Amino acid sequence: MAGDKAFTQAPIITNGQYPIAHYLDTSDTTDSPEGTFKPLTQNHLQAVENLNANLELVIDNGTLKSQITGSLIEDFVFHESSTSPNQGNVLEVGNFKTLTVEIFGGSTTREVEFVCRSISGLNRKLRGINVSDWSDGTSTTGTAEIWQFDITGLRQVYFDLTEVSGDYVAIKGRVVA
């Protein structure tokens, strides 16, 4: 295979007709010191709950080569139903790269500032894109909006609710690694 892809070579395991995806169990050295190839079942994929995985299978000269790629997805609540100004919950970014948030609720007025912390620990404005009209900004007074952010390399993100009246504001997001 070309380029920067790393593949594990393995014998083809079949169900009698079709190849079965499999993995190398390095804890079982029955077949070789490197490990034993075992069938990949649905139970293995369920062990990682929020992994959106793709399994690529390639047969090359009678050898099955496989690679699992995907992304980790996690939902996060910044504000459940806030009725007064507050910082809300802080997301520890870790390996996540993209954040999509929805701002909604019954409040008549609201102002939300988008804030991040970098490695220095300083608070900085976080610029996002409103997916409804593709405008960008570091805050909003709107509701029923969806915003997307590139959070690669940041330490923390939060949404500072600086003004709210009339009812509640909720801000919920999904991060993808």
Q: What is the pLDDT of residue 2?
A: 46
Domain boundaries, the chain: 8-71, 72-176
3-state SS, residue 45: helix
Report pTM: 0.64
First-last CA distance in the chain: 25
- 133-157 burial: b if 16+ Cβ within 10 Å, else e: eeeebebbebbebebebebeebbbb
CB 110 within 8 A of CB 101: no
Q: What is the pLDDT of residue 67?
A: 60
CB 82 within 8 A of CB 169: yes
Q: Please list, in sequence order, all residues whose beta carbon lies within 8 angstroms of the beta carbon of residue 110, skipping any fewer than 6 positions away.
A: 103, 141, 143, 161, 163, 164, 165, 169
Structure tokens at 103: 């701002």
User: What is the third-level CATH fold of 72-176?
Assistant: Jelly Rolls (2.60.120)
pLDDT tens sequence for the chain (177 residues): 445 544 455 555 566 655 666 666 778 887 777 777 776 654 444 434 455 555 566 666 666 666 656 668 899 999 999 999 999 999 999 989 999 999 999 999 999 999 999 999 999 999 999 999 999 999 999 999 999 999 999 999 999 999 999 999 999 999 998
Helix residue spans in 35-146 (DSSP H)? 42-46
Structure tokens at 141: 């007074």
Dist. CA 54–CA 75, nearest whole Å? 20
